[in-house]
């Protein structure tokens, strides 16, 4: 699967979520667990302040997963 195909398949998770499912969606699209994505967003929010802004942008633009189960 190419990068563009993975990017088009990226969706917010309905099940693996703490706030909006962004990190769960990244975990579903990669082999990285969602806790690593959460730690990365938290670290970049605390260190540079950009993680929170990126999270909000992704929350607005990343579509919701339409899976039922």
pLDDT of residue 40: 92
User: How far is residue 20's CA from residue 67's CA, in Å, rounded to a whole number?
Assistant: 15
pLDDT of residue 36: 94
pLDDT of residue 51: 87
- Taking only the tens place, the pLDDT of each residue in 4-62 is 776 777 888 888 888 888 998 888 888 889 999 999 999 999 998 888 888 889 889 98
pLDDT of residue 67: 65
Instruction: Say what the pTM is.
Output: 0.78
pLDDT of residue 29: 85
Residue with tokens 């990068």: 3
């Amino acid at each position: 699967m190419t990068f563009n195909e993975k990017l088009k398949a990226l969706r917010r998770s309905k099940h693996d979520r703490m706030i909006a499912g962004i990190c769960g969606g990244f975990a579903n699209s990669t082999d990285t667990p969602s806790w690593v994505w959460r730690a990365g967003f938290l670290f970049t929010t605390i260190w540079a302040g950009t993680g929170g802004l990126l999270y909000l942008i992704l929350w607005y633009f990343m579509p919701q997963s339409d899976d039922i189960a």
